[in-house]
Structure 1
Amino acid sequence: MLSFRAALIASAAAFVAMPVAAQEAPDPDAGATPTRETATADEILVTGRAQRLYRVEETTVGKVAQDPMNIPQALQVINSELFADQGARDATDIYRNISGVSFFSYAGVTFRGFRQDQSFYDGQRGNPFIGFSVPQLFNIERVEVLKGPAGLFFGPGSPGGIINYVSKTPSEETSLRAVLTGGTYDRIGLSAEATGAIDRDGILTYRLGGFYESMDPYRRNTQNKSRIGDAGLAIRTNEGGKLTLQATVYDNELQANRLRGVLVDDDGNFLTDIRWNANEKTDFLNLRSEAYQARYETRIGEAVTFNAGARYFKAKETQQYHEPRGLVADNPDLVVREFRDQIRPVDGLSFMVNTTARVNLLGLEHSFQAGADWYDETSVLHSRILRTDVTPLSLSNPVYGLGAGDAQRAAQLPYTTTDTRTRRKGAYLQDQISLTDALLLVAGIRYDHFEDEVIRSLGGALQDRTRYADSDVTLRGGAIFKPRTDVSLYASWSQSFEPQSAADQNSDAGGPFVPVTGNQIEGGVKTQLFDGRLQANAALYRIVRRNILQVDPTLPPVSGVDQLAPIGEVTSKGFEIDLTTDITPDWVLMVNYGYNDTRITDTAEGQAITNGVGDRFANAPRHKVGFWTRYQVPAIAAAFAFGGEHVSRRISLSGQTVKPYTIFDASITKSLGFAELLLRADNIFDKVYAASGFSNRSGHFPGSPRTFLAELRVRF
């Protein structure tokens, strides 16, 4: 805390003593030449960035570079400029910028009403942040969000949409950037990254990056340390062709994790201070992972593009923690706990290839796109759980240290091992036909095959082995009408399917089961008005999912396992609005709103769908609003920003109320000539709220109280 205060005092002194005249670099695409002085290339600027600051003109969410206006589905792209302006550290910091997306737990989100944990990196499977760790943004250039079924390009998955993290890559531009971070809860951090050409002709380019941050969060006993090492090498193989090699290492040490929530009553009121934690100081969650990637892309003439990629990752998450299991029956102040000792090694290998070709057939221009992908993953869980003689913990006056010996007692138990092996392979073909310059038709087809195998053992002795394989064909169709070049009206229909959880394919549960299937109808409008300075998008959608598994109470358990039945149906309806605009050359505004109504529309009496309560879905808000506005003052070379988020009432997995909340943030960014200083305050009114609900045994996940962050950014 003392280090943060010293940094804050020094920053404030610099803020007062070093006003720098504002300068703005000309924007060749802005349509008008700025009248202010042109800045030199090596200066750090807070001015000259507002005009079309967060605009994105190209996305690879369709596996190839494409204009978002030509994609018949809603999508959003969060770029590095917004990361910097908001001081975003990890994925949870950017959800407020995405309509239809809200926090569920850890890295999981509610996406158009459905819980989802899937993430992609550079268009491929292979998320190194397995289990209960949250993706970091240090080495990410942008986050692409494709809403609705994305199976045509990405294969089996959740129908709400996908999140694709696009990595930073080597650049010919020589650059060295360092960032020093300080903040409340003893936050301290340092990161640096460098890019440039290795040879005189720029055939070889590189990127090197390192990140370290440590803090003691507000939950009792906790301490977080994160380290990231990132290296990339790009080779220009031919005119228009490039091979990029990347390696990234992650090391997260989280003391007194894994974090569960804080218990609440049925009205959603916390039963104790949100700092309460079921974990002892000796508990931990450590993640160590590595990701290696190779991507090649090239042009073949003027009409054909080709890209291919391979990605391998391996990760190991080690956990020893105390799990809350609800209140003691005769004492509402004591929380029952059990101790869990778990090891989760995972490794995965994926390949993809994609190509596009523009050809004229029968007088019409066609843009054919074809591709294939393959993924193989092995995920193992070694788990032993100590349920007896674990000391309960008081809500009002927790005494820590009495559970410190639980790890030694748990070590006497045998591991239950679940070995899950997953294979996915698929191929797709899409044709985009230009009937006229203003009217485009899109049609696509995809074939997928998957194989799942689960092997369970206890103390090394085989208990059960389950295999299941299936395949499916899904379709996509759409139309795009452009009454003018900066307005795109679209309508689309798409199918999806996702395999059932491998654990649910157990024969004791009645498996194997056919995949969950779904379809979506969506219509909307995308605009880039006033030379792109106003981007306003709106979407209306309806998603239906079928074959969702439910517990069948008419059948007795087999070997202690509840019987399942695939007879559920869920319907999600809603609309979304996203607006990004430059109100003036110095003032930018972002606003998003999402309305969603997700209901269970077909089920049997007495049965329950996972994440469903009654006819509603857990943590699925009807209303979600987010906004961010930034105003720069050239006379003092500073920018002032203000943002907020509102999430309406929800219910937890146990049917408890998750109360609505509204929070606000603010920041100041100041140019110091040689550097840039960011001062940011989150939850400035220090509101106590639940970011999401979980269960009546483990409570709601509290949102962070008021925090302060300072970043000094130096570019050489």
Structure 2
Amino acid sequence: MSYSYSRLCVAVMTALSTLSAPVLAQQTESNAQSKDGIERVSVLGRATQFYRMDESAMATKTPTNFMDIPQSIQVLSEELIEDQAARQTTDLYRSISGVSQFSYSGVTARGFRQDQVRYDGVQGDPYSGFSIPQLFNIERVEVLKGPSSMLYGGGEPGALINYVTKKPEFDDKVETALFLGNYSQKGASVDATGSMSDSSAFRLGTFYQDRETFRKNTDEQNLQLSASATWLVGNRTDLTLQWDHINQDLGGHRLRGVPVDDQGNFLTDISYNANEPGDSQKLKADVLQLISNHMFDNGMTNRTMVRVLDNERTQQYHDNRGLLDDGRSMIREYRDQLRENQEVSLTTDFVYETELGGLQHTLLVGGDAFLVDYHFEYKVGRGESSNVPDLDILNPQYGADPSNYLLTSRPNRDNEFERFGFYIQDQIHFNKEWLGLVGARYDNFKDEVLGGSAYSVSDSQWTPRVGVIYQPTSDTSLFANITQGFNPQSTGSQASAELDSDFGALLEPEESRQYEVGVKNQWLDNRILSTLTAYEITKSNVTLANPADTGFGDGIPSVTQIGEVTSEGIELDVVGDITKNWTGTFNYAYNDTVITGGGDGSIRNSVGSKFANAPEHTVGLWTRFDFPAIASAFSFGMEYVGERISLSDQVVQSYTVWDASWRSEIQGFDLQINVRNLFDKEYASSGFSAHNGHFPGEPRTVLVQLSRTF
């Protein structure tokens, strides 16, 4: 552990010893009274309906009704996650307007690739990009559309996904589940929560899953352990301590795509995999999180959160590097990689409601710090010169022995990454009809390479946000906002752009600005909420792969920077109860993302002016019908993603897939059957590069789960 990492850990713990924590978690809370009259605080989803939720704190860092938020936001409830039998985040993309898969857990959101996520509103992703986040410990998923830098720091401008973790509850409850499926899928979970005393509660959980997949040589094992406790300190303070352990073993990974022709047709069976049976991607991570909540005598609240993460990722895998002239012999590259992250994230927010100048104000003042120590080791060999055999994509014969490969060791890389931010925001109620929001953030960023080739890059930026709401009736909100984003360049990107041995910061930070207008309506006695938005996002200093680059050591920079990309679109989201026994969620998005600065064809991921993996049209539907007379529910859904292009200009064909679910209560047990890709559609979920092909979507899968709550 480096000096700076230790230093921040000490500073964090010192701060927590003097700070009290916010009353209730940042997300929705509920209060209850204990037998002794002590106020009991438990963090619960307040879904009064199956799928619709009425408020969120993600967009403002204060619990705010959706109708009072001047920005587009979606929340996927725990009931929706359960009905869809979602095990990992990729299972939920159909329910988020304007979002489709890019690669691994990365998505395209409003036309832009987005890999960053938050947990309980702070940084610290244990899956770190190459693994897919699991949902066992997740209560709900929140998605803030457009740039989010004002509250959450640097990132892409399309959307930010936040995973809200499950917390202890004071009501005793044990949930158990066993599940089986095709591809030899099997698993179990146990989740127990309850009170330890009138002022403390616990939660213990474990999840295990083992399965094969439709790709050759692949299997998956997921183990997650979770433990947490909540203490009430007096009647104004609560503390929640959480620990999560994640162990993921993905055989036959890091999983790449299947080769296609320029029209997007697969050149071989979608079960093709360049990896050998002994290849793998393994992840081990431990996360420790402390949330502190406090209410001061004057009504001011404070929420302080610390998230400490330690993870290790090992990858030994074969990568497609392109077909020979015979059209079937795939050149392969073997990579042996180790990545280690140690991360500390600290966030503290003070919220105060007051009246100033005859107007109601909700003031937010906060700050955050994020520090990462990163270590990377890399060995590589390609093709016959390294004894890495080619693979026949039409008749693959496996059995290569990596111990015979001639691998080249790249220099180890050690980095220290620091980011500090300060922000202030005011939510203003002018009168019954008009509301406003104004805020700004200052970010300071530094990324330093340690060791003999030490160098660093640093940057700073102000990012404002302004929003306004007009509510002609209690059921209608017209809103508009202007938001800005900021994404600094890492030392890795800067080094990739450097042509000589003298390091210099060649790349400017990526910047973005969004203009958004929309209308939110409540229908049928507030049972249904609809949100219709139109937006324009302009991203400048866009950094992308250099099409002239031919590989490591060629003297050509591997990344380059173009002027500008503009995304314009419309999104419609509808969620709620149509009748007492019929509920659902529907979304449609139109998006047009084009290069508006830089020459056409000057970058790899464009055809003319189109951006990669950015479909013009997407549609998502999930609806549930309850039959109380037989204690059952039937659900079905669909996802449509329009035609796109890959990073290498190849067509990614449009697709439509349908899913269905049946749930029944039988003598206290919940029996659930889910069928994904009901009609066994063959499709590509996203495009990648010409040498790696497209990522194939999963064929028909069946999952049967038997669960019980005690």
Q: TM-score, normalised by structure 1?
A: 0.88
**Alignment-mate amino acid for residue 244 of structure 1:** T
**Counterpart in 2 of 1:128?**
126
Counterpart contact for 2:51–2:584, Cα < 8 Å: no
1:191-590 superposed matches below 5 A: 191-199=189-197, 201=198, 203-301=199-297, 303-329=299-325, 331-387=326-382, 388-401=386-399, 403=400, 405-410=401-406, 413-455=408-450, 462=452, 464-506=453-495, 508-509=498-499, 511-549=505-543, 560-562=555-557, 566-590=561-585
Quickly say closer, same or farther: Cα 1:266–1:564, change in 2 above 3 A: closer
Q: Matched residue of 1:635: which SS? A: helix
State which of 167, 170, 183 in structure 2 corresponds to 1:169: 167
- Alpha-carbon offset, residue 668 of structure 1: 0.5
| 1:364-396 deviations in Å (ceiling 9; x for gaps) | 111111100000012222111011221111111
1:560-709 superposed matches below 5 A: 560-562=555-557, 566-604=561-599, 607-608=602-603, 611-709=605-703
Q: Matched residue of 1:277: which SS? A: coil
CA distance in 2, matches of 1:151, 1:176: 39
Counterpart contact for 2:47–2:54, Cα < 8 Å: no
Q: Matched residue of 2:454: which SS? A: strand
- Alpha-carbon offset, residue 252 of structure 1: 0.4
CA distance in 2, matches of 1:424, 1:560: 32
**Alignment-mate amino acid for residue 283 of structure 1:** D
- Alpha-carbon offset, residue 50 of structure 1: 11
Quickly say closer, same or farther: Cα 1:662–1:546, change in 2 above 3 A: same
Residue 52 in 1 paired to residue 41 in 2?
no
Quickly say closer, same or farther: Cα 1:219–1:567, change in 2 above 3 A: closer
Counterpart contact for 2:447–2:490, Cα < 8 Å: no
Q: Matched residue of 1:135: which SS? A: coil
- Alpha-carbon offset, residue 575 of structure 1: 0.8
Quickly say closer, same or farther: Cα 1:280–1:539, change in 2 above 3 A: same
Counterpart contact for 2:190–2:205, Cα < 8 Å: yes
CA distance in 2, matches of 1:595, 1:516: 24
Counterpart contact for 1:227–1:251, Cα < 8 Å: yes
Counterpart contact for 1:50–1:632, Cα < 8 Å: no
CA distance in 1, matches of 2:223, 2:600: 50
- Alpha-carbon offset, residue 332 of structure 1: 1.1
Quickly say closer, same or farther: Cα 1:89–1:551, change in 2 above 3 A: closer
| 1:640-686 deviations in Å (ceiling 9; x for gaps) | 11100000000000100000000000110001131101001110110
**Counterpart in 2 of 1:103?**
101
| 1:452-489 deviations in Å (ceiling 9; x for gaps) | 12358xxxxx4x33311111111111101112223221
Counterpart contact for 1:490–1:524, Cα < 8 Å: yes
Quickly say closer, same or farther: Cα 1:605–1:267, change in 2 above 3 A: closer
CA distance in 1, matches of 2:391, 2:559: 35
- Alpha-carbon offset, residue 530 of structure 1: 3.1
Q: Matched residue of 1:591: which SS? A: strand
> In terms of mean alpha carbon deviation, does 589-598 or 56-65 score higher?
56-65
Q: Matched residue of 2:64: which SS? A: coil
- Alpha-carbon offset, residue 538 of structure 1: 0.9
CA distance in 1, matches of 2:637, 2:566: 32
Counterpart contact for 1:72–1:490, Cα < 8 Å: yes
CA distance in 1, matches of 2:701, 2:635: 16
Counterpart contact for 1:64–1:354, Cα < 8 Å: no
Counterpart contact for 2:380–2:409, Cα < 8 Å: no
Question: CA RMSD for the aligned pairs?
Answer: 2.1
Counterpart contact for 2:115–2:129, Cα < 8 Å: no
**Counterpart in 2 of 1:9?**
none
Runs (5+) with no aligned partner, structure 2 = 1-45
CA distance in 2, matches of 1:635, 1:333: 58
**Alignment-mate amino acid for residue 498 of structure 2:** D
- Alpha-carbon offset, residue 397 of structure 1: 1.1
* Count of residue pairs the alignment pairs up: 655
**Counterpart in 1 of 2:15?**
none
Residue 190 in 1 paired to residue 188 in 2?
yes
Counterpart contact for 1:593–1:626, Cα < 8 Å: yes
> In terms of mean alpha carbon deviation, does 414-423 or 580-589 score higher?
414-423
Quickly say closer, same or farther: Cα 1:565–1:650, change in 2 above 3 A: closer
**Alignment-mate amino acid for residue 175 of structure 1:** K
Counterpart contact for 2:387–2:404, Cα < 8 Å: no
CA distance in 2, matches of 1:487, 1:230: 41
Quickly say closer, same or farther: Cα 1:488–1:351, change in 2 above 3 A: same
Counterpart contact for 1:50–1:582, Cα < 8 Å: no
- Alpha-carbon offset, residue 97 of structure 1: 0.1
Percentage identity across paired residues of the two chains: 42
- Alpha-carbon offset, residue 58 of structure 1: 2.3
- Alpha-carbon offset, residue 334 of structure 1: 1.2
**Alignment-mate amino acid for residue 693 of structure 1:** G
Counterpart contact for 2:600–2:607, Cα < 8 Å: no
| 1:254-288 deviations in Å (ceiling 9; x for gaps) | 11111001000111000111011111101111100
Q: Matched residue of 1:81: which SS? A: helix
- Alpha-carbon offset, residue 439 of structure 1: 0.5
Counterpart contact for 1:327–1:333, Cα < 8 Å: yes
**Counterpart in 2 of 1:33?**
none
CA distance in 1, matches of 2:689, 2:560: 23
**Alignment-mate amino acid for residue 508 of structure 1:** E
Quickly say closer, same or farther: Cα 1:370–1:287, change in 2 above 3 A: same
**Counterpart in 2 of 1:45?**
none
| 1:276-324 deviations in Å (ceiling 9; x for gaps) | 1111101111100111000111222474221010001011110111111
Runs (5+) with no aligned partner, structure 1 = 1-48, 457-461
- Alpha-carbon offset, residue 588 of structure 1: 1.0
Counterpart contact for 1:477–1:494, Cα < 8 Å: yes
Counterpart contact for 1:550–1:607, Cα < 8 Å: no
**Alignment-mate amino acid for residue 670 of structure 2:** E
**Counterpart in 1 of 2:12?**
none
CA distance in 2, matches of 1:377, 1:710: 41
Quickly say closer, same or farther: Cα 1:187–1:553, change in 2 above 3 A: closer
Counterpart contact for 1:454–1:503, Cα < 8 Å: no
CA distance in 1, matches of 2:341, 2:548: 37
**Alignment-mate amino acid for residue 639 of structure 1:** A
**Alignment-mate amino acid for residue 475 of structure 1:** P
Counterpart contact for 1:468–1:512, Cα < 8 Å: no
Q: Matched residue of 1:508: which SS? A: coil
CA distance in 2, matches of 1:605, 1:555: 18
CA distance in 1, matches of 2:601, 2:215: 38
Q: Matched residue of 2:151: which SS? A: helix
Quickly say closer, same or farther: Cα 1:611–1:354, change in 2 above 3 A: farther
Q: TM-score, normalised by structure 2?
A: 0.89
**Alignment-mate amino acid for residue 625 of structure 1:** V
Quickly say closer, same or farther: Cα 1:526–1:606, change in 2 above 3 A: closer
**Counterpart in 1 of 2:38?**
none
